[in-house]
Structure 1
């Protein structure tokens, strides 16, 4: 009888765990625009649910996990400068004891590239952390890819 109860309890917890939803308050989209035969801009957009925010790429050490965009090496293109972002909202956060830059609703990061071929496959990873007023979700890393034509 104890085994049946134990098996039933394990099945119940497994079912409850499987039905728990994973929160994903940020969705990502990607685009590109060729600005000449040899240059293009890659756009990486974060759409953020109300009440949540992600952090700037320029957070100082000791702060939250900053957004980090890494481009995979390629012979089809080279990066021109760094990845740019609009001016973030800045707020003093007691938990980090510093002013921290972040974005709400949406943000578009841009990376200019120099093409070595007429088309290029651009890929990489984005590491970010999303928080609301009372908590932060663990940092996440996603892959991205876009074809420049």
Structure 2
């Protein structure tokens, strides 16, 4: 009986340790009205130490760039492209090319023209996160940002 209990305990501990997924990037969202007809969306990535995500523009055959897709709506219109601070540009050994990336945190900004008073902007973002040893598969994250 003790062996059965020990076997079950070891099996559960092993299964739970395999079930832990790496999530080195946390996303947060906010909006800020500039005036009655315009707002800026703030999309922040907080990146664990030792990891980085790639900029919105990378060379062909490189890593997955960070990309944003906004749902179309009659409540708002996008103004221009999603903006970001200048990335760190270095040679990436994994891809054997110069690439731009962000460490620790980065805030992406998207301006919107408000057609309705308080719309909710929805969309998805795609990104890839790497460290010096590995890259995780590209991930797509849905977001919903109320503009108040």
Asked if these proteins are the same fold (TM beyond 0.5), I'd say: yes
Deviations 1:17-62 (A, max 9, x none): 3432111000000000000110000000000010000000111221
Aligned length: 141
CA distance in structure 2 between the aligned counterparts of 1:125 and 1:15, rounded to whole angstroms? 35
- Name the residue aligned to 2:115: 116
Matched position secondary structure for 2:110: strand
- Name the residue aligned to 1:45: 44
Stretches of structure 1 lacking an aligned partner (at least 5 in a row): 1-7
- Name the residue aligned to 1:87: 86
Kindly indicate whether residue 14 of structure 2 is the aligned counterpart of residue 16 of structure 1: yes
Deviations 1:97-127 (A, max 9, x none): 3210000000000000001011111011111
- TM-score between the two structures when normalised by the length of structure 1: 0.88
Stretches of structure 2 lacking an aligned partner (at least 5 in a row): 1-6
